[in-house]
Structure 1
Amino acid sequence: MRILHTSDWHLGQHFMGKSREAEHQAFLDWLITQANEKQVDALIIAGDIFDTGTPPSYARGLYSRFIVNLQNTCCRQLVVIGGNHDSVATLNESKELLACLNTFVVGGVTASPEDQVRVLNNSDDEPGTVICAIPFVRPRDVLESQAGESSEGKQQALQQAIADHYQTIYREAEKLAGQSLPIIATGHLTTVGGQLTESVREIYIGTLSAFPASAFPSADYIALGHLHRPQVVAGQEHIRYSGSPIPLSFDEAGADKQVTLVDFKDGKLSSIESVVIPEFRKLISIKGSLDDIDHQLNELTIDQNALNPWLEIEVTTDVYFHDLQSRVEQLVMDKESLSTCELLRVRKKREKAPAALTTIEQETLAELKVEEVFQQRLEHEEIAEDQIKKLTSAFYSVIDTLHDEQQKEKV
């Protein structure tokens, strides 16, 4: 039996004001083709189907059309679990209807453990594997808060509660699997040692930062979502993140995106294969001095047949430029070969920390004026020049207002 594992589609995402609809449509069309060509028996989406709990109508349309189109392939079984970005209610509202299209939806933790377990059939329409469909587990799903409990105590309690939930669902799966069927578990969470990117949102802040691989049940394969870089967990080949299908932040630019093919034979895991996803739109991040950036822009090669590339430029300098944004924009505009590129973000990074930072650490807030605190904080941030102007203007406007109010009180 062959399973295809994917996750973190984030349909409906807006990236710095830009829609990802064209990229997502290209990916879904590609995925339909792969499901057929690779003779996939079942497809698993391990959470974060949507980017928000209230996805735009076009994102819902992409999701619905994909499920319908999947019925025209050899892969007619789909498992959908909810992620931390997904709304349980939004996913579950269509679960009964989608069940008619061989789609098993588990938007959130269910009241009955058996509702999170399903037998998946192979190409001969015979039982091939059992799945424990475990979605993103919210603390309130498995844990009651205890008054006076320490932060460490809460973390340990949540970790144990999630581990217990896995074991409960796994025991239900064992009943269906018997001695012959392999078991697949899913999950949407951060594991210990997992590589995060800037687009990944921490999901257990203040309680559980990461879940240890040792706490998973002894499933034959564990299909995870939430981390956007494809990766093996704790050196255990059968526990994997498939990663997001498109780069969701500039720090994911240039990294291969993939889906994972998992084969079972004679009731056991037999092979795992990564299938690289084409780059539908190039995200380009360039860093350096203005001269370095000019040189790097000259070296760029753009595929004119692909979607318009999106560009981020980070200027490393200690020199203050009041017109840095326009300077960088002009550098890009001067390159005829980059006419299809869209510059989405310009950032400034200080070449070296100012000498004053050494002494700042020894100063207390009481020794600094509020204006000094603001300026020093600003120097630590990587903010575009136009944003610095707006923040500075807003800051001094607030200071002036407070000063006027204090003067009135004295009168």
Structure 2
Amino acid sequence: MRILHTADLHLGRQFNGIPLDADHGAVLDQIVSAITSNRVDVLVIAGDIFDRAAPPTSAVRQFNGFLARVASETAAAVVMIAGNHDSGDRIASMSIMTDARRALIRGAIRADEQPLILTDAYGPVAFTGLPFAYEYAARECFADEALHTPEDVLTAQVSCGRRNIPDGARWVVVSHAFITGALSSESERPLTRVGGVETVSSAVFEGAHYVALGHLHRPQSVGASHIRYSGSPLAFGFDEFDCQKSMSLVEIDAVGRAAIETIPFEPIRRVRVLKGRHAELLLAERSDDFIKVVLTDDAPVIDGMKRIREVFPNACELAYERNERAPAAKLLVGRALALANPVEVVGDFLEHARGDRLSENELAVVAVALGRLRETEDMQ
């Protein structure tokens, strides 16, 4: 069975105040083309379809038109879930009067997750869609006040979904989460309150043959090759300027092995960082790409951005190299965002400060100390 895995469309989003309607239209066209040219059986959209709970009308119309094309121009089934940017109720409303044999659309969390079961030459493949939900909603849904973290919530969801998988079926899980060890970007909204641990262990998905993830914007596998983020079709920040955006084409064989191929997106406007002297950049070829300019001039340039926009009308940021933060410090920040837990955060900071990693005994001391702090907080 062939699956095209996408996520994090963020329809309705802007880039530094510049509308992305045309950019989104181009990537939606590419998704439809990929379904057709690769004879895809199932299109998966793993959350954050819209950029906010109340998206602009133009974004809703754009997505409705896209779904109409998938329905009329292809034979693919559709599996999609709400992400943390979406309104679960809005996404759920799309499932009303849809063909349940060809679509699984999950907007709000429920205690009895029923899969969409499709069949290929080797038998059934079950798709479980697990929409994003905050802890308070999960506690109400599962009548369990012990659900305090995103991992608690997802563990409960996966457990409910697993109970409804037929014996012998290959299993695909669609989820929206931050899995431990994955690399994040600046444009992602946190999934928990300030100070909370939002990461989830990949072990939660034990038994699944493929896990189609959304939330993080860089394409990557995490924990195992079959647990994968497709990433967002477009770059939403300059920290992603070097990231090749792609869809994941997944083929599940007779025993559930997942072979994964990436299909690159071709955006109509790229995200680029240009460095050089102001006078040199003014001689460059005109471009509509989204540009961050880092000037190497020693002295400030009068009307620097205004003159840059004569060549790059979508220039969004201008900085001077002398004011940019040291690469080592930036690396530390980026690494900290992707760490699995607070113990590793402390370990990474101390490695940066003193030049070598903490020993196992030292890490154990840190873990005990942090555990005592948590106990103290819980008692307050």
TM category (shorter chain) comes to: 0.7 to 0.9
1:191 to partner: Cα distance: 1.1
Decide whether aligned partners of structure 1 residues 241 and 315 sit closer, same or farther in structure 2, where only a CA change above 3 A counts.
same
Which position in structure 2 is the counterpart of 1:165?
A: 157
**Mapping 1:235-254, distance limit 5 Å:** 236-254=224-242
C-alpha distance in structure 2 between counterparts of 1:83 and 1:118, whole Å = 19
Secondary structure at the counterpart of residue 193 of structure 1? coil
Residue number among 127, 136, 141 corresponding to 1:140 in the alignment: 136
Letter in 2 for 1:214: A
Which position in structure 2 is the counterpart of 1:119?
A: 117
Runs of 4+ in 1 over 6 A off after TM superposition: none
Which position in structure 2 is the counterpart of 1:218?
A: 207
Decide whether aligned partners of structure 1 residues 297 and 256 sit closer, same or farther in structure 2, where only a CA change above 3 A counts.
farther
Which position in structure 2 is the counterpart of 1:309?
A: 289
Which position in structure 2 is the counterpart of 1:28?
A: 28
C-alpha distance in structure 2 between counterparts of 1:193 and 1:317, whole Å = 39
1:12-62 CA-to-partner distances (Å, cap 9, x unmatched) read 102222111001111111111110000000100000000000011111111
Secondary structure at the counterpart of residue 178 of structure 2? coil
Decide whether aligned partners of structure 1 residues 94 and 328 sit closer, same or farther in structure 2, where only a CA change above 3 A counts.
closer
C-alpha distance in structure 2 between counterparts of 1:154 and 1:131, whole Å = 25
**Mapping 1:159-238, distance limit 5 Å:** 159-173=151-165, 176=166, 178-179=167-168, 181-205=169-193, 206-234=195-223, 236-238=224-226
Which position in structure 1 is the counterpart of 2:332?
A: none
Gapped runs of 5+ residues in structure 1?
A: 303-307, 354-411
1:94 to partner: Cα distance: 2.5
1:231-258 CA-to-partner distances (Å, cap 9, x unmatched) read 0102x10000000001111221242100
Which position in structure 2 is the counterpart of 1:345?
A: 317
C-alpha distance in structure 2 between counterparts of 1:128 and 1:45, whole Å = 21
C-alpha distance in structure 1 between counterparts of 2:324 and 2:37, whole Å = 52
- When structure 1 is superposed on structure 2, of 213-222 and 97-106 the one drifting more is 97-106
1:75-108 CA-to-partner distances (Å, cap 9, x unmatched) read 3310110000000111112211334793321012
Q: Is contact 1:42-1:120 (8 Å) kept?
A: no
Letter in 2 for 1:220: H
Letter in 2 for 1:279: P
C-alpha distance in structure 1 between counterparts of 2:100 and 2:126, whole Å = 19
Decide whether aligned partners of structure 1 residues 318 and 158 sit closer, same or farther in structure 2, where only a CA change above 3 A counts.
same
Q: Percent same amino acid among aligned pairs? A: 28
Letter in 2 for 1:232: S
Which position in structure 1 is the counterpart of 2:17?
A: 17
Letter in 1 for 2:116: R
Secondary structure at the counterpart of residue 268 of structure 1? coil
RMSD over aligned Cα, in angstroms? 2.7
C-alpha distance in structure 2 between counterparts of 1:346 and 1:101, whole Å = 52
Whose radius of gyration is greater, 1 or 2?
1
1:327 aligned onto 2:312: no
1:122-141 CA-to-partner distances (Å, cap 9, x unmatched) read 4x7x9641011111131113
Aligned positions, number: 320
C-alpha distance in structure 1 between counterparts of 2:201 and 2:237, whole Å = 26
Which position in structure 1 is the counterpart of 2:335?
A: none
1:334-358 CA-to-partner distances (Å, cap 9, x unmatched) read xxxx3x64222334565388xxxxx
Which position in structure 1 is the counterpart of 2:269?
A: 281
**Mapping 1:72-83, distance limit 5 Å:** 72-83=72-83
Decide whether aligned partners of structure 1 residues 349 and 41 sit closer, same or farther in structure 2, where only a CA change above 3 A counts.
same
C-alpha distance in structure 2 between counterparts of 1:45 and 1:36, whole Å = 16
1:8 to partner: Cα distance: 0.2
C-alpha distance in structure 1 between counterparts of 2:52 and 2:163, whole Å = 32
TM-score, structure 1 normalization:
0.71
TM-score, structure 2 normalization:
0.76
Secondary structure at the counterpart of residue 278 of structure 1? coil
1:330 to partner: Cα distance: 1.6
